[in-house]
Amino acid sequence: MLKALLTRARQGHRTMRYPAAAPPPLPAHFRGAPRIDPARCPDGCQVCIDACPTEAISLAGDTIALDLGRCIFCPECESACPEGAITFTDDYRLATRTRADLRLQAGEERKLADALDAKLRSLFGRSLKLRVVSAGDCNGCASDVNVLSTIGWDLGRFGIQYVASPRHADGIVILGPIPENMRLAVRKTYDAIPDPKLVIAIGACAISGGIYAGHPEQHNGAETMLPVDLFIPGCPPHPLTILDGFLRLLGRIEDRVVRAT
Amino acid sequence: MNGDLLIRRNAEPAPLADVPLVPMTAFQSAILDAVRDDCRVVSYFAREVRDAIELVSVVADDATSELGFVRTRLSDSRFEALTPQCPQVHLFEREIAEQYGIEPVGHPWLKPVRFQRPLRAGRDFFPEPVPGVTDFFRVEGDEVHEVAVGPVHAGVIEPGHFRFQCHGEHVFHLEIALGYQHRGIERALIGGPTAKTIHYMETVAGDTTIGHALAYAQAVEALTATKVPARAHVLRGIALELERLANHTGDLGALSGDVAYLPTASYCGRTRGDYLNLTAELCGSRFGRGFVRPGGVQFDLAADRIETLAERTQDATRDTVAAVALLWTTPTVMERFENTGTVEADACEEIGMVGVAARACGRSIDVRHDFPFGIYRFVHIPVMTAHHGDVNSRAFVRWLELQRSASFVAAQLHTMPTTPIRADVSASLVPGSIVASLTEGWRGEICHVAITDPHGRFARYKITDPSFHNWFGVALALRNGQISDFPLCNKSFNLSYCGHDL
């Protein structure tokens, strides 16, 4: 017992102050929102498009467009581009309310997730219970969704909690592309949640199928089956990106528009 | 080893034509002889060759670091199952039936593995598979009842279906049905490598990104005769051990949480994140995405960051060691850990368990030691074992290993060679070749076998995650236990669902 108390004293208080204070530092090579600088693109160059494993980059007129819903935030485009026209910034804020807001063109502003409407905020704003369903997720997204429950992040202080039963839930979180073998389980879980309910898709797989898009064994993510209210891109998204998404949805973070380039 | 086997080392390629193509009886006796001589079957799979089906097997001799290759062709859509004489191939033979529509006759429990469609179109051995809908072993009798759990579980974890035959709290038998995570990886790998291949590897089991990406990189390097620079070997080793540190720490915390001992659960929950953040310092991703690439690694570690990283590793390890040490002196924890979920040493060997779970049964096997690769050819990490095969032993092996891994990381950070970090890799693989590449992920042995076609593309790429060998161990661990101990037993293995389901 004495040892336990001593260890407790040494481990100290570890819950971060974010969002009241600055977020925890991000790692050196962190890949957040990408930045496109079309001025640097040589004519007819398609190196980044060819390097992208998920067809997230496409030609849009004389510039390129980027689909953050498909992007797995791998370094391939950045390392392939000889001109530095595409780079990853350390902007961790990525969540949106619509799929369209994830499709970016160089020079456009990025529109981050709006809060729920007043009625839903009055229902969920101070208590949001989520049933997380891993459906083909590689345990990357599951791990960083789970980590928000640990003491460093302490998701409970925002009134957000992961629950075991869909009957106790206000919404479903989908991780993974939804394999055919999970389709029925996802459907039943969703149906078991009482109305009104939210659907949150976390990670490239749950948003677009990610690297598995097009495989006949899966369904290209949540949107093909359910009405999605919040998209949190990444592969997997950093815990800070996920938390930022949750808090925006509940109207606890206000800045909604950031420069894309 | 048997004369019908072609002998190669870990990640040493061979022309496919050199692998003996023998009749079925000789193929099976080559495997049986090897297993009798204490070898293990690390891979055993089918592939399509024109209109015929070829079976390929790789056996591993832990004592001599040799891998033995043998193959046979089937003239029929059936063959006599090896499982009754060699239980460790039971799941491989079920997989062969499911993927290629051929029947291992006499297999004692022939049912789907992943409820997937066959890789060979139109050859459904299990037509119209529906996940979880299959025969389950049933115990009949007064007051005997069945408990079904999953696919969706109570926590934030991957899906799987567990069927218990119980008498009150007492578990007679547990049967595990997986396949819910099946994403079609092996099918998609055929014809590769493509721009997607490395990303499939990084997400075979997303908590083992480094382990699987490394096995793949070694296979490609072998098939392109690429020499990996020394600094890349060191960085890969650091990343692999950080992955082990993060997961072992997370598991020890979760085990502690499962027996309601919250101090260790809380501290380890945090320090696990510290290790993930250290991996992120290497490559920007907490799970090591984007780090390992054929030829080396994609990110270097600047000299001015090495000291910080070493300090942070030391801090995280100090806190983890202090947190985990509490477990061994807390009677309520020991009471729950000891003699819970025991797998006997004989059973462990018979079903071919690997990794932490096998070492907890006293089996001294570890790819880093037995089939050394990369940096482990030069720097040796002692193999840690425990001897009771219970939850406590599985926890204790993790505790021993994480301390060895931390020392390794600290030492390697300070002895980094000054070579480049990546070698150029030829775009084309040697045609008509085979290679088996093994690594020791944090769960255990990862085995990738690549076979190239005449154009240097993957004709077949077989992935075996340690979970594939070990899931049956979870079922055995529950026998004659309490159903309330299931979460604890399951966590003590912490196997991958997606790594199994592919």
- Band (pLDDT 50/70/90 cuts) for residue A253 is confident
Domain for residue B24, yes or no? yes
Query: Can you read off the two tokens belonging to residue B218?
Result: 């070694």
Whether residue B215 is found in the same domain as residue B77: no
- Band (pLDDT 50/70/90 cuts) for residue A107 is confident
Whether residue B243 is found in the same domain as residue B366: yes
Distance from the B166 Cα atom to the nearest Cα atom in chain A, whole angstroms: 23
B179 φ, ψ to 5°? 115, -10
The whole-angstrom distance between residue B245's C-alpha and the CA centroid of its chain comes to: 16
Whether residue B75 is found in the same domain as residue B196: no
HSE-CB for A13 with a 13 A CA cutoff? 2
Using CB atoms, pick whichever of B183, B323, B330 lies closest to residue A215.
B183
pLDDT of residue B398: 97
B191 membership: H or E segment, kind and range = none
Whether residue B235 is found in the same domain as residue B369: yes
Phi-psi region of B86 (alpha: psi -120 to 50; beta: other; left: phi over 0): beta
CB contact under 8 A, B195 and A133: no
Query: Which residues make Cβ contacts (< 8 Å) with residue A13, sequence separation at least 6?
Result: none
Burial (0-12, 13-18, 19+ Cβ within 10 Å), B305: middle
B406 φ, ψ to 5°? -65, -40
CATH number for the domain harbouring residue B388: 1.10.645.10
3-class secondary-structure state, position B455? coil
Domain for residue B494, yes or no? yes
Domain for residue B112, yes or no? no
Which residue in chain B has the smallest CA separation from A187?
B152
* Residues pairing with A104 in the sheet: A66
Q: Residue B436 in contact with residue B14, Cβ under 8 Å?
A: no
Query: Can you read off the two tokens belonging to residue B158?
Result: 């991957």
Instruction: Choose, out of A3, A138, A193, the residue to mutate when testing the contact with B (most B CBs < 10 Å).
Output: A138
- Please identify among residues 77-96 of chain A the ones whose CB lies closer than 8 Å to any CB of chain B: 79, 88
Please state, in angstroms and rounded to a whole number, the distance separating the CA atoms of residues A129 and A161: 5
- Band (pLDDT 50/70/90 cuts) for residue A257 is low
Domain count of chain B?
Answer: 2
Please state, in angstroms and rounded to a whole number, the distance separating the CA atoms of residues B209 and B200: 10
Whether residue B201 is found in the same domain as residue B302: yes
Domain of B18? 6-105
CB contact under 8 A, A140 and B322: no
Distance from the B357 Cα atom to the nearest Cα atom in chain A, whole angstroms: 20
Prior bond of B431 cis (ω within 30°): no
Last residue of a domain, one of B105, B134, B167: B105
pLDDT of residue A256: 58
- The one-character DSSP state at A149 is G
A7 or B482, which is more confident? B482
Whether residue B439 is found in the same domain as residue B329: yes
Residues of chain B with pLDDT under 50: none
Whether residue B198 is found in the same domain as residue B95: no
Using CB atoms, pick whichever of A73, A139, A215 lies closest to residue B496.
A139
- B333 CB neighbour count, 10 Å cutoff: 20
Domain for residue B148, yes or no? no
According to DSSP H, which parts of B79-229 are helical? Answer: 90-100, 185-189, 197-203, 209-223
Please state, in angstroms and rounded to a whole number, the distance separating the CA atoms of residues B502 and B500: 6
Instruction: Find chain B residues with C-beta within 8 A of A219's C-beta.
Output: none
pLDDT, tens digit (0-9, with 9 covering 90-100), for A21-45: 888 999 989 999 998 888 888 888 8
Instruction: Find chain B residues with C-beta within 8 A of A243's C-beta.
Output: none
Instruction: Choose, out of A88, A139, A163, the residue to mutate when testing the contact with B (most B CBs < 10 Å).
Output: A139
Domain for residue B142, yes or no? no
Last residue of a domain, one of B78, B105, B132: B105
Whether residue B254 is found in the same domain as residue B348: yes
A140 touches chain B (CB under 8 A): yes
Whether residue B428 is found in the same domain as residue B319: yes
Hunting for tokens 């992040």 — which residue is that? A153
CA distances from A206 to A146, A212, B497 (A): 16, 10, 17
Hunting for tokens 């390629």 — which residue is that? B13
- Please identify among residues 209-228 of chain A the ones whose CB lies closer than 8 Å to any CB of chain B: 211-212, 215-218
Long-range contacts of B22-26 (CB under 8 A, 24+ apart): B22/B70, B22/B71, B22/B72, B23/B72, B24/B72, B24/B74, B24/B79, B24/B80, B26/B72
Using CB atoms, pick whichever of A74, A134, A150 lies closest to residue B289.
A74
Distance from the B500 Cα atom to the nearest Cα atom in chain A, whole angstroms: 11
pLDDT of residue A63: 80
Q: Residue B7 in contact with residue B39, Cβ under 8 Å?
A: no
- Band (pLDDT 50/70/90 cuts) for residue A261 is very low
Instruction: Please spell the DSSP secondary structure of A105-131, one letter per residue.
Output: ETTPEEEPPPPPPHHHHHHHTT-EEEE
pLDDT, tens digit (0-9, with 9 covering 90-100), for A131-163: 999 999 999 999 999 999 998 899 999 999 999
Domain for residue B121, yes or no? no
**Radius of gyration (Cα) for chain A, nearest Å?**
19
Domain for residue B442, yes or no? yes
Whether A258 has a pLDDT exceeding 70, the answer reads no
Query: Can you read off the two tokens belonging to residue A9?
Result: 């004293």
pLDDT of residue A259: 55
pLDDT of residue B318: 93
CB contact under 8 A, B299 and A217: no
pLDDT of residue B71: 96
Whether residue B362 is found in the same domain as residue B483: yes
Instruction: Choose, out of B203, B292, B320, the residue to mutate when testing the contact with A (most A CBs < 10 Å).
Output: B203
Instruction: Please spell the DSSP secondary structure of B388-405, one letter per residue.
Output: S-SHHHHHHHHHHHHHHH
Instruction: Find chain A residues with C-beta within 8 A of B270's C-beta.
Output: 11, 14, 150-152
**Radius of gyration (Cα) for chain B, nearest Å?**
22
> Which domains are assigned to chain A?
34-92+102-107 (3.30.70.3270), 118-259 (3.40.50.12280)
CB pairs under 8 A between A and B: 187
Domain for residue B140, yes or no? no
pLDDT of residue B3: 77
Distance from the A141 Cα atom to the nearest Cα atom in chain B, whole angstroms: 8
CATH number for the domain harbouring residue B54: 3.30.460.80
- Please identify among residues 92-131 of chain A the ones whose CB lies closer than 8 Å to any CB of chain B: none
Instruction: Find chain B residues with C-beta within 8 A of A160's C-beta.
Output: none
CB contact under 8 A, B152 and A142: no
A203 touches chain B (CB under 8 A): no
CA distances from B105 to B77, B109, B121, B162 (A): 10, 11, 21, 26
Q: What is the mean pLDDT of chain A?
A: 92
**What pTM was estimated for this model as a whole?**
0.95
Last residue of a domain, one of B105, B126, B145: B105
